[in-house]
Amino acid sequence: MADEATIVRQLADIAVLYYTSTAINVPRGTLMALTGDNTIDTHLDRTQKFAGIAATQKIAADGAIPQGVFTRGVFDMTCEGAIVRGNYVGLSATANKIEDLGNAISLTDLDKIIGVALATGTTDAIINVQIGR
């Protein structure tokens, strides 16, 4: 994959454990999405629900099923389109990228928020984002 997130400031010392397939490669910093009960996979599109950011690399066929993800912290993340500082951000249609959700979110869209942009950026720019769940 490409455009993995990079930790800038970690707000918690622990990663939350979920289950994943033994058949997938997960580079550290990959945006992860919920796919089932306590199960995650790599982010593919904006319709998925954010689980966190992969805390460690996972190699396909390594026999490992648990995958730790960070759910709080400040991360460098890659923009898909323009993002305005202070606006909410969510998963985009492109793997490992985020998009601007604006600054006013309806109650039905709260589950799309993964964090707040701490900088303004354009397409493919890397900005600081504070995530927190």
Which residue in this structure is represented by tokens 């928020």?
113
Same-domain pairing of 48 and 30: yes
In a domain, 5, yes or no: no
Same domain, 32 and 53: yes
d(CA 77, CA 6): 7
pTM, rounded to two decimals: 0.87
Domain assignment of residue 27, yes or no = yes
Tell whether 88 and 127 lie within a shared domain.
yes
Can you tell me the distance from the alpha carbon of 110 to that of 68, in angstroms, rounded to the nearest whole number? 24
pLDDT above 70 (res 133): no
The stretches of the chain forming alpha helices (DSSP H) are: none
pLDDT at 5 over 80: no
- Tell me: do 53 and 94 sit in the same domain: no
Q: For residue 68, what are its two tokens?
A: 């730790």
Closest-CA residue to 63 (of 113, 18, 24, 13): 24
Domain that holds residue 60: 12-70
Query: Of the residues 70, 86, 111, which one is the last residue of a structural domain?
Result: 70
**Predicted confidence (pLDDT) at residue 111 exceeds the cutoff of 90:** no
**Do 27 and 62 fall within a single domain?**
yes
* Cβ-contact 80, 98 below 8 angstroms: yes
| Domain match, 49 and 87 both | no
Domain count for the chain: 2
pLDDT value at position 13?
64
